[in-house]
Protein backbone atom coordinates (compact mmCIF):
# COMPACT_ATOMS: atom_id res chain seq x y z
CA UNK A 1 0.00 0.00 0.00
CA UNK A 2 1.47 3.36 -1.02
CA UNK A 3 2.13 5.89 1.69
CA UNK A 4 2.09 8.76 -0.77
CA UNK A 5 -1.55 9.77 -0.10
CA UNK A 6 -0.88 10.12 3.63
CA UNK A 7 2.37 11.99 3.08
CA UNK A 8 0.76 14.52 0.73
CA UNK A 9 -2.26 14.97 3.00
CA UNK A 10 -0.16 15.46 6.13
CA UNK A 11 2.28 17.91 4.57
CA UNK A 12 -0.04 19.81 2.22
CA UNK A 13 0.87 23.31 3.46
CA UNK A 14 4.61 22.58 3.76
CA UNK A 15 4.75 21.14 0.23
CA UNK A 16 2.85 24.12 -1.09
CA UNK A 17 5.17 26.71 0.43
CA UNK A 18 8.23 24.84 -0.87
CA UNK A 19 6.55 24.52 -4.26
CA UNK A 20 6.02 28.30 -4.41
CA UNK A 21 9.68 28.82 -3.51
CA UNK A 22 10.80 26.36 -6.21
CA UNK A 23 8.64 28.17 -8.76
CA UNK A 24 10.05 31.56 -7.85
CA UNK A 25 13.42 30.41 -9.18
CA UNK A 26 12.13 28.62 -12.26
CA UNK A 27 8.81 29.64 -13.82
CA UNK A 28 7.61 32.64 -11.87
CA UNK A 29 6.41 35.26 -14.36
CA UNK A 30 5.47 38.35 -12.40
CA UNK A 31 4.83 40.15 -15.69
CA UNK A 32 2.02 37.75 -16.55
CA UNK A 33 0.42 36.93 -13.21
CA UNK A 34 0.16 38.30 -9.69
CA UNK A 35 1.26 36.64 -6.45
CA UNK A 36 -2.30 36.16 -5.29
CA UNK A 37 -3.17 34.40 -8.55
CA UNK A 38 -0.34 31.91 -8.22
CA UNK A 39 -1.13 31.40 -4.53
CA UNK A 40 -4.73 30.52 -5.30
CA UNK A 41 -3.77 28.28 -8.24
CA UNK A 42 -1.31 26.25 -6.17
CA UNK A 43 -3.82 25.96 -3.32
CA UNK A 44 -6.55 24.83 -5.69
CA UNK A 45 -4.40 22.29 -7.50
CA UNK A 46 -2.86 20.81 -4.37
CA UNK A 47 -6.31 20.47 -2.76
CA UNK A 48 -7.49 18.65 -5.89
CA UNK A 49 -4.43 16.35 -5.79
CA UNK A 50 -5.13 15.59 -2.14
CA UNK A 51 -8.71 14.70 -3.09
CA UNK A 52 -7.37 12.48 -5.88
CA UNK A 53 -4.78 10.62 -3.82
CA UNK A 54 -7.45 9.81 -1.24
CA UNK A 55 -8.82 7.33 -3.77
CA UNK A 56 -5.54 5.43 -3.32
CA UNK A 57 -5.33 4.98 -7.07
CA UNK A 58 -2.54 7.32 -7.90
CA UNK A 59 -1.71 6.11 -11.38
CA UNK A 60 -5.07 6.10 -13.14
CA UNK A 61 -5.80 9.77 -13.72
CA UNK A 62 -8.84 8.93 -15.84
CA UNK A 63 -10.60 7.62 -12.72
CA UNK A 64 -13.54 9.49 -11.23
CA UNK A 65 -11.51 10.57 -8.17
CA UNK A 66 -9.20 12.64 -10.37
CA UNK A 67 -11.94 14.57 -12.17
CA UNK A 68 -11.44 17.66 -10.02
CA UNK A 69 -7.66 17.59 -10.56
CA UNK A 70 -8.10 17.23 -14.32
CA UNK A 71 -10.55 20.13 -14.42
CA UNK A 72 -8.36 22.39 -12.28
CA UNK A 73 -5.26 21.60 -14.36
CA UNK A 74 -7.11 22.09 -17.63
CA UNK A 75 -8.43 25.44 -16.49
CA UNK A 76 -5.00 26.61 -15.23
CA UNK A 77 -3.30 25.48 -18.46
CA UNK A 78 -5.96 27.13 -20.59
CA UNK A 79 -5.61 30.43 -18.76
CA UNK A 80 -1.80 30.25 -19.07
CA UNK A 81 -2.04 29.53 -22.78
CA UNK A 82 -4.17 32.65 -23.17
CA UNK A 83 -1.88 34.73 -20.94
CA UNK A 84 1.14 33.99 -23.12
CA UNK A 85 3.10 31.47 -21.05
CA UNK A 86 5.32 29.08 -23.01
CA UNK A 87 4.48 25.34 -22.98
CA UNK A 88 7.58 24.57 -20.87
CA UNK A 89 6.71 27.28 -18.34
CA UNK A 90 3.23 25.82 -18.03
CA UNK A 91 4.53 22.26 -17.63
CA UNK A 92 7.16 23.36 -15.15
CA UNK A 93 4.35 24.67 -12.95
CA UNK A 94 3.49 21.03 -12.24
CA UNK A 95 6.99 19.58 -12.49
CA UNK A 96 8.38 22.02 -9.92
CA UNK A 97 6.19 20.22 -7.41
CA UNK A 98 8.59 17.26 -7.66
CA UNK A 99 11.39 18.65 -5.53
CA UNK A 100 9.29 19.61 -2.45
CA UNK A 101 7.35 16.35 -2.69
CA UNK A 102 10.50 14.23 -2.99
CA UNK A 103 12.07 16.04 0.00
CA UNK A 104 9.06 15.26 2.18
CA UNK A 105 9.01 11.62 1.03
CA UNK A 106 12.69 11.25 1.84
CA UNK A 107 12.25 12.81 5.27
CA UNK A 108 9.16 10.78 6.12
CA UNK A 109 10.52 7.45 4.99
CA UNK A 110 14.18 7.89 5.97
CA UNK A 111 13.96 4.87 8.22
CA UNK A 112 12.80 2.59 5.42
CA UNK A 113 15.08 3.32 2.48
CA UNK A 114 13.63 0.41 0.45
CA UNK A 115 10.22 2.00 0.37
CA UNK A 116 11.60 5.43 -0.49
CA UNK A 117 12.38 4.33 -4.02
CA UNK A 118 8.88 2.89 -4.58
CA UNK A 119 7.22 6.04 -3.30
CA UNK A 120 9.48 8.29 -5.32
CA UNK A 121 8.63 6.26 -8.41
CA UNK A 122 4.90 6.56 -7.65
CA UNK A 123 5.25 10.31 -7.13
CA UNK A 124 7.22 10.64 -10.38
CA UNK A 125 4.54 8.74 -12.30
CA UNK A 126 1.79 10.89 -10.82
CA UNK A 127 3.51 14.21 -11.51
CA UNK A 128 4.60 13.19 -15.01
CA UNK A 129 1.03 12.28 -15.86
CA UNK A 130 -0.20 15.56 -14.46
CA UNK A 131 2.44 17.37 -16.51
CA UNK A 132 1.35 15.57 -19.67
CA UNK A 133 -2.24 16.51 -18.94
CA UNK A 134 -1.11 20.13 -18.58
CA UNK A 135 0.61 20.04 -21.96
CA UNK A 136 -2.45 18.51 -23.63
CA UNK A 137 -4.73 21.15 -22.16
CA UNK A 138 -2.29 23.91 -23.09
CA UNK A 139 -2.07 22.72 -26.70
CA UNK A 140 -5.81 22.30 -26.94
CA UNK A 141 -6.35 25.90 -25.88
CA UNK A 142 -3.69 27.11 -28.32
CA UNK A 143 -5.36 25.14 -31.11
CA UNK A 144 -8.69 26.71 -30.24
CA UNK A 145 -7.08 30.15 -30.36
CA UNK A 146 -5.45 29.37 -33.72
CA UNK A 147 -8.73 28.03 -35.11
CA UNK A 148 -10.59 31.16 -33.97
CA UNK A 149 -7.92 33.38 -35.47
CA UNK A 150 -8.10 31.43 -38.72
CA UNK A 151 -11.84 32.02 -38.83
CA UNK A 152 -11.36 35.72 -38.12
CA UNK A 153 -8.66 35.98 -40.78
CA UNK A 154 -10.92 34.21 -43.21
CA UNK A 155 -13.69 36.72 -42.58
CA UNK A 156 -11.33 39.66 -42.73
CA UNK A 157 -9.67 38.45 -45.89
CA UNK A 158 -12.81 38.52 -47.99
CA UNK A 159 -14.22 42.02 -47.80
CA UNK A 160 -16.88 42.91 -50.33
CA UNK A 161 -16.80 46.62 -51.06
CA UNK A 162 -19.60 48.58 -52.66
CA UNK A 163 -17.85 50.83 -55.19
CA UNK A 164 -20.95 52.41 -56.65
CA UNK A 165 -24.66 51.79 -56.83
CA UNK A 166 -24.92 48.32 -58.35
CA UNK A 167 -21.13 47.78 -58.53
CA UNK A 168 -19.30 45.58 -56.04
CA UNK A 169 -15.59 44.87 -55.67
CA UNK A 170 -14.03 41.85 -54.06
CA UNK A 171 -10.29 42.28 -53.59
CA UNK A 172 -8.74 38.88 -52.90
CA UNK A 173 -5.41 38.86 -51.09
CA UNK A 174 -3.44 35.69 -50.45
CA UNK A 175 -3.59 32.15 -51.70
CA UNK A 176 -6.95 30.79 -52.72
CA UNK A 177 -7.74 27.27 -51.62
CA UNK A 178 -11.02 25.38 -51.77
CA UNK A 179 -12.20 26.40 -48.30
CA UNK A 180 -11.35 30.05 -48.80
CA UNK A 181 -12.88 30.16 -52.26
CA UNK A 182 -16.09 28.83 -50.75
CA UNK A 183 -16.11 31.76 -48.28
CA UNK A 184 -15.22 34.21 -51.06
CA UNK A 185 -17.99 32.87 -53.25
CA UNK A 186 -20.57 32.97 -50.49
CA UNK A 187 -19.71 36.49 -49.35
CA UNK A 188 -19.80 37.75 -52.92
CA UNK A 189 -23.15 36.14 -53.71
CA UNK A 190 -24.57 37.32 -50.40
CA UNK A 191 -23.44 40.86 -51.17
CA UNK A 192 -24.90 40.67 -54.70
CA UNK A 193 -28.27 39.75 -53.19
CA UNK A 194 -28.13 42.32 -50.38
CA UNK A 195 -27.07 45.23 -52.55
CA UNK A 196 -28.95 44.10 -55.67
CA UNK A 197 -25.77 44.68 -57.67
CA UNK A 198 -25.41 43.99 -61.37
CA UNK A 199 -21.62 44.01 -61.62
CA UNK A 200 -18.98 42.47 -59.38
CA UNK A 201 -15.27 43.09 -59.82
CA UNK A 202 -13.09 40.26 -58.52
CA UNK A 203 -9.61 41.70 -58.05
CA UNK A 204 -6.85 39.09 -57.94
CA UNK A 205 -3.89 41.50 -57.71
CA UNK A 206 -3.03 40.04 -54.30
CA UNK A 207 -3.30 36.40 -55.35
CA UNK A 208 0.24 35.04 -55.75
CA UNK A 209 -0.55 32.13 -58.04
CA UNK A 210 -3.48 30.82 -59.99
CA UNK A 211 -3.65 27.11 -60.63
CA UNK A 212 -6.28 25.02 -62.36
CA UNK A 213 -8.24 24.50 -59.14
CA UNK A 214 -8.31 28.20 -58.25
CA UNK A 215 -9.38 29.05 -61.80
CA UNK A 216 -12.17 26.49 -61.59
CA UNK A 217 -13.33 27.99 -58.29
CA UNK A 218 -13.32 31.46 -59.80
CA UNK A 219 -15.27 30.28 -62.83
CA UNK A 220 -17.82 28.60 -60.56
CA UNK A 221 -18.29 31.85 -58.65
CA UNK A 222 -18.69 33.76 -61.89
CA UNK A 223 -21.26 31.26 -63.18
CA UNK A 224 -23.24 31.43 -59.93
CA UNK A 225 -23.21 35.24 -59.95
CA UNK A 226 -24.29 35.22 -63.59
CA UNK A 227 -27.22 32.96 -62.71
CA UNK A 228 -28.27 35.58 -60.20
CA UNK A 229 -28.09 38.24 -62.86
CA UNK A 230 -24.73 39.77 -61.94
CA UNK A 231 -21.78 40.00 -64.32
CA UNK A 232 -18.26 39.47 -62.96
CA UNK A 233 -15.11 41.18 -64.15
CA UNK A 234 -11.74 39.78 -63.12
CA UNK A 235 -9.13 42.46 -62.60
CA UNK A 236 -5.51 42.45 -61.51
CA UNK A 237 -4.42 39.76 -63.94
CA UNK A 238 -0.65 40.20 -63.82
CA UNK A 239 1.53 39.07 -66.75
CA UNK A 240 2.80 36.03 -64.80
CA UNK A 241 -0.74 34.96 -63.94
CA UNK A 242 -1.85 35.52 -67.53
CA UNK A 243 1.03 33.29 -68.65
CA UNK A 244 0.08 30.61 -66.14
CA UNK A 245 -3.55 30.70 -67.27
CA UNK A 246 -2.49 30.28 -70.90
CA UNK A 247 0.03 27.59 -69.96
CA UNK A 248 -2.58 25.60 -68.02
CA UNK A 249 -5.04 25.92 -70.89
CA UNK A 250 -7.74 27.47 -68.70
CA UNK A 251 -10.54 28.85 -70.81
CA UNK A 252 -11.45 32.32 -69.63
CA UNK A 253 -12.93 33.33 -72.97
CA UNK A 254 -16.39 33.89 -71.49
CA UNK A 255 -15.04 36.08 -68.72
CA UNK A 256 -14.14 39.75 -68.89
CA UNK A 257 -10.61 40.27 -67.62
CA UNK A 258 -8.77 43.54 -67.03
CA UNK A 259 -5.18 44.23 -66.00
CA UNK A 260 -6.04 46.94 -63.48
CA UNK A 261 -8.95 47.46 -61.14
CA UNK A 262 -9.33 51.00 -62.47
CA UNK A 263 -10.01 49.61 -65.96
CA UNK A 264 -12.52 47.16 -64.53
CA UNK A 265 -14.27 49.95 -62.62
CA UNK A 266 -14.36 52.15 -65.74
CA UNK A 267 -15.95 49.29 -67.67
CA UNK A 268 -18.42 48.62 -64.87
CA UNK A 269 -19.45 52.28 -64.86
CA UNK A 270 -19.79 52.26 -68.63
CA UNK A 271 -21.96 49.13 -68.51
CA UNK A 272 -24.22 50.68 -65.93
CA UNK A 273 -24.60 53.77 -68.10
CA UNK A 274 -22.24 56.02 -66.18
CA UNK A 275 -18.91 57.68 -66.88
CA UNK A 276 -16.27 59.59 -64.97
CA UNK A 277 -15.53 62.99 -66.52
CA UNK A 278 -13.15 65.73 -65.49
CA UNK A 279 -14.95 68.79 -64.17
CA UNK A 280 -14.19 72.25 -65.56
CA UNK A 281 -12.62 73.24 -62.23
CA UNK A 282 -10.37 70.25 -62.30
CA UNK A 283 -9.37 70.87 -65.93
CA UNK A 284 -8.81 74.58 -65.22
CA UNK A 285 -6.62 73.84 -62.25
CA UNK A 286 -4.50 71.49 -64.32
CA UNK A 287 -4.07 74.13 -67.04
CA UNK A 288 -3.04 76.69 -64.44
CA UNK A 289 -0.52 74.28 -62.98
CA UNK A 290 0.87 73.62 -66.45
CA UNK A 291 1.18 77.39 -67.08
CA UNK A 292 3.01 77.88 -63.80
CA UNK A 293 5.46 75.17 -64.73
CA UNK A 294 6.13 76.91 -68.04
Partner 1 sequence: MRLVETVKAMTPKAMRRVLIVEDTPSDARQSIAVVKKLGAQEVTALNNIASAMLLLQDVVEGKQPPPDLILLDLSFPKESGFEVLRFWKSNPKLKAVRVVVWTVMGETEQKLCNFFGVDQVIVKWAGPRELEEALRAYTIAPDSAAS
Least distance to partner 1, CB of residue 174, Å = 24
Q: Find out whether 80 and 90 touch, Cβ atoms under 8 Å.
A: yes
Helix runs in 157-279, H state only: 178-195, 212-227, 239-248, 261-271
C-alpha to C-alpha distances, 43 to 15, 47, 72, 88, 107, nearest whole angstrom: 10, 6, 11, 21, 22
193 or 285, CB closer to partner 1? Answer: 193
224 or 259, CB closer to partner 1? Answer: 224
Least distance to partner 1, CB of residue 186, Å = 8
How far is the C-alpha of 172 from the C-alpha of 205, rounded, in Å? 7
**Residues in touch with partner 1 (CB under 8 A):** 189-190, 192-193, 196, 220, 223-224, 227-229
206 or 229, CB closer to partner 1? Answer: 229
56 or 220, CB closer to partner 1? Answer: 220
Angle in degrees, CA 207, 211, 217, rounded to 5: 80
Least distance to partner 1, CB of residue 248, Å = 24
Residue 106: closest CA among 98, 270, 249, 289: 98
Least distance to partner 1, CB of residue 146, Å = 29
The DSSP letter of residue 159 is: -
Least distance to partner 1, CB of residue 190, Å = 6
How far is the C-alpha of 208 from the C-alpha of 25, rounded, in Å? 49
179 or 193, CB closer to partner 1? Answer: 193
Amino acid sequence: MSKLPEIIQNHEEGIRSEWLKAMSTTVRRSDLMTDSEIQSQTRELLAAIVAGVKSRDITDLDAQAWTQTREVLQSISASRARQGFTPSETTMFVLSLKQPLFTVIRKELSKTPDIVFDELWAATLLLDKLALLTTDAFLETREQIIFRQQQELMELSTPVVKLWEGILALPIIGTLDSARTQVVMESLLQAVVQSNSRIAIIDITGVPTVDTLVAQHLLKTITAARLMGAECIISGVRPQIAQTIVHLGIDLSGVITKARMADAFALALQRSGRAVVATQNGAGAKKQEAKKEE
